[in-house]
Amino acid sequence: MSVWQPAWFQTAQSSGGWLVVHSGQAFLTAGADVLFASDDPRVQGFAGERHGLGQWQAQPVTLLELDTPPDIEGCVWQPLRPLMLQSPHALFKLLGYANQIGTWARQHRFCGQCGTRTFALDGQRGLKCPNCQLTQYPRLSPSMIALITRGDEVLLARSPRFAPGVFSTLAGFVEPGESAEACVHREIMEEVGVSVTNLRYQGSQNWPYPHSLMLGYHVDYLSGDIRCQPDEIEDARWFHLRELPTLPPAFSISRFLIDRYRVERLGGAEPVLPD
């Protein structure tokens, strides 16, 4: 089985290997393939910024970031979410990393302090301004994701952005000056109008939408009736563990939180949160 081996310091000028072509928030795909040989004539002549991503099948993988997505016969541009559902976990991790690096590089081509064109540093993942010396590194946004439980019931919700029928745990970004635990209480109250207690940290997962570090919690329901936040939550309900709706992918931390509690209450094999 292929395993992606990240190497953020790897040079992007390695000869041979694989090429991942990215533009905006979409990847170039040919059928089921999203990795192209570097000498593939369909991608060989593209001009864009290149960033080393690591190793795949013992070959270097390079991200090619394009300003605009050209039309290529036999190829389709796809965003990351549908690719997530059809890709092995190791490949999804590679694509998620590529999506984050491509987005970061595109958004920091010019210095945010003086507006000068930045350049990539050798030996590290950084973009430096030659004028004021400001260096920009990729940054992650901490966010909480929490499973709310009440006996054999779990409170799940769906966003308008979800695939049809999918319900998930609640999530939200940590605000400046806020702890992760305070974020859990605030986001749950804002999104579904209930109070919770007994917060237990369960694990973390990098989530490339667009650059989150998800901090997973299991919390107990305390009080309140469900009240969905307009524009954020289109539906939220209590579900019995034996009658759950369509859930997120098996390798997501949301699914891990749900499956772990289901095993705790009903028995079964302990789920594993993928690295």
- Tokens representing residue 85 in the block: 């559902």
Q: For the chain, give the mean pLDDT.
A: 91
Q: Is 248 found in the same domain as 158?
A: yes
Note whether residue 275 is domain-resident. no
Note whether residue 150 is domain-resident. yes
User: What is the domain-level CATH number for residue 148?
Assistant: 3.90.79.10
- Which tops the pLDDT comparison, 206 or 25? 206
Q: Is 257 found in the same domain as 157?
A: yes
Q: Is 236 found in the same domain as 147?
A: yes
User: What is the count of structural domains for the chain?
Assistant: 3
pLDDT at 8: 46
Q: Is 148 found in the same domain as 254?
A: yes
Write down the pTM of the prediction: 0.86
Contact 254, 248 (CB under 8 A): yes
Q: Is 201 found in the same domain as 166?
A: yes
Q: Is 91 found in the same domain as 30?
A: yes
Q: Is 119 found in the same domain as 100?
A: no
CA separation (Å) from 189 to 183, 185, 223, 235?
A: 10, 6, 10, 15
Q: Is 130 found in the same domain as 40?
A: no
Q: Name the binding residues for a divalent metal cation.
A: 171, 187, 191, 232
The phi-psi region of residue 271 (left if phi > 0; otherwise alpha if psi is between -120 and 50; otherwise beta) is beta
Q: Is 128 found in the same domain as 92?
A: no
CA separation (Å) from 72 to 28, 29, 41, 106, 259?
A: 9, 10, 11, 22, 42
Q: How far is CA 2 from the centre of its chain?
A: 20
Note whether residue 274 is domain-resident. no
Q: Name the binding residues.
A: 81, 111, 114, 129, 132, 137, 171, 187, 191, 232
Q: Is 87 found in the same domain as 70?
A: yes
pLDDT (tens digit, 9 = 90+) per residue, 205-246? Answer: 998 888 899 999 999 999 999 999 999 999 999 999 999 999
pLDDT (tens digit, 9 = 90+) per residue, 138-195? Answer: 999 999 999 999 999 999 999 998 889 999 999 999 999 999 999 999 999 999 999 9
Contact 208, 96 (CB under 8 A): yes
Tokens 């190793």 sit at which residue?
55
- Which tops the pLDDT comparison, 185 or 52? 185
pLDDT at 86: 81
User: What is the domain-level CATH number for residue 53?
Assistant: 3.90.79.20
Contact 142, 173 (CB under 8 A): yes
Q: Is 152 found in the same domain as 102?
A: no
Domain interval for residue 127: 112-138
3-state class (DSSP) for residue 22: strand
DSSP string, 201-224: EEEEEEETTTTEEEEEEEEEEEE-
Q: Is 170 found in the same domain as 257?
A: yes
Q: Name the binding residues for Zn(2+).
A: 111, 114, 129, 132
CB atoms within 10 A of CB 151: 11
Q: Name the binding residues for substrate.
A: 81, 137
Note whether residue 273 is domain-resident. no
Q: How far apart are CA 120 and CA 275, in angstroms?
A: 28
**Where does a domain end: 123, 138, 153?**
138
